[in-house]
Structure 1
Amino acid sequence: MFGDLGLKLVQEARAAEINQTLPPYNDELVRLVMLETRQLQTHISGLLQEAGGVQAAETEESLAGQLITHHAAAQRNKRCLLAYHNVRLQYLQSILWSKGGSLELTLNHSIESPARLMAHEADKTTLKSRCSMAELAFVRQYADLNRAYKSEFLDVVDVSASLGRSTKTDDIGPIKELMVSIVSHVDAKDVQTERGSISLRRGERMRILRSEVDALIMRGWVSVLDE
């Protein structure tokens, strides 16, 4: 029946919202809903072509009923797609803010499988593995906007830092490498670290101790390069 596939997307999004998690992107179901929507539009165009135009619907009640039914089904599919993606993007935004605007920490955020939780088994995957390519592009662009927004206020306060971060450290996870490769997003001289001061130039890459730049990563001044 029309709309059943779209309803499944909405139910999946609602379950994710209640459980505060992000299931893997359902690419197959999204494609099926889009295909159904295109088929509905094609059928509407065919009906109008056979009837000789929209004016025929004003006199033929059966034609008007078909057009309204198919159009409403297509519009409902579109709303279901928008709702599904909106829930996922809101979750990504909330995680980014909870990580102080750090793109790296956001993409590496651990997500536990509800099924495994019920069985008391550990099955954690990263947020990055649950996203589509378009969602990953959105997160990166949103992180850039976040960094640009807060850069005007960093001399006063880090407006994107998580208020609960000082008491919630279990979401960070252990540091795997002492030395990391970073790239700078700002120009700054004499930035104080635990081992002294360093100077940053936009676009410059360097190898440095992770502990020296943790604060800079949180502020968005630098980011860790993918290994």
Structure 2
Amino acid sequence: MSTLCESGYKLAKEAKRTADLLVSPYNEDLVHRICREVRLLQAKAESVLRSMRENPATQGQPSQLTQVMMHHAAIKRNKRILFAYHRQRLEKLKELSWDVGRQSDFQREIKTSLGPTEHKFMEEYGEMVSAYKQSFLEIDLGGNGGVGLDPPMDLFIEVRVVRDVGEINTEYGTLNLVKGSQYYVRQTDVESLIKAGYLKHVA
């Protein structure tokens, strides 16, 4: 028997731990467990309330009122964790649609990490972003190798490779980006890789 709200606690910890990743795999198992717990707590609360209505003499007893309040608080906590988890993922998918683009090399990795309804959202939101960008072809709005509207603070930056990328071509030649290596490169050449979580800007 798991502790009350234990699954919600695990999901909240996972969301915090994976916040900086490109996109973490959707934890369908924990989400379903939390939903089952919410339904179970709701049924228990309704059972206590039904018992109180059927036995007027027991109404107002501290033990029963406490049970209802405890179940209600646990349900509310679980729902808030689910909302926060899905909101974080939603914002990450929106950010990826703008910064990484739909035709990037990371699409396979992104798609294998999505939940059941996230595939549809990513596809439809991506189509809206693409349609919007078509209206401003003369402006770099980011994605597909573009750097977006944020001006670089420095022309060259130092980056550390967090995950293997392989070879990339730049104006100054070819770079083989292997995990653990560090380079001094032009920011515009690696901006999309930084946003995707493959490189880390070393301050």
TM-score for the superposition, normalised by structure 1: 0.58
The amino acid across from 1:34 in the alignment is C
Query: What's the CA shift for 1:58?
Result: 7.0
- Change in Cα spacing, 1:68 to 1:57, as seen in structure 2 (3 Å) is farther
Q: Superposition pairs for residues 44-63 of structure 1, below 5 Å? A: 44-52=45-53, 59-63=60-64
Distance between the aligned counterparts of 1:57 and 1:67, measured in 2? 14
The amino acid across from 2:8 in the alignment is G
Distance between the aligned counterparts of 2:58 and 2:128, measured in 1? 48
1:146 maps to 129
2:95 maps to 94
In the alignment, which of 173, 178, 190 is matched to residue 168 of structure 1?
Answer: 190
**Root mean square deviation of aligned Cα:** 2.7
Asked if structure 2 preserves the Cα contact closer than 8 Å seen for 1:6 and 1:77, the reply is yes
Deviation string 1:92-148 (CA, Å, 9 cap, x unpaired) is: 22222112xx3232xx417xxxxxxxxxxxxxx711111122111111111122133
1:79 aligns with 2:65: no
1:204 maps to none
- Change in Cα spacing, 1:48 to 1:98, as seen in structure 2 (3 Å) is same
2:65 maps to 64
Query: What's the CA shift for 1:7?
Result: 0.7
Asked if structure 2 preserves the Cα contact closer than 8 Å seen for 1:150 and 1:160, the reply is no
2:106 maps to 109
Distance between the aligned counterparts of 2:28 and 2:67, measured in 1? 30
- Change in Cα spacing, 1:34 to 1:57, as seen in structure 2 (3 Å) is farther
Distance between the aligned counterparts of 2:95 and 2:57, measured in 1? 50
Distance between the aligned counterparts of 1:159 and 1:136, measured in 2? 23
The amino acid across from 1:163 in the alignment is V
Query: What's the CA shift for 1:160?
Result: 4.2
1:6 aligns with 2:8: yes
1:41 maps to 42
- Change in Cα spacing, 1:35 to 1:56, as seen in structure 2 (3 Å) is farther
Q: Which runs of 5+ in 1 are unaligned?
A: 111-124, 172-227
Distance between the aligned counterparts of 1:136 and 1:152, measured in 2? 25
Q: Secondary structure at the match of 1:103?
A: coil
- Change in Cα spacing, 1:62 to 1:21, as seen in structure 2 (3 Å) is same
Q: In percent, how many aligned pairs have the same letter?
A: 30
Asked if structure 1 preserves the Cα contact closer than 8 Å seen for 2:133 and 2:141, the reply is yes
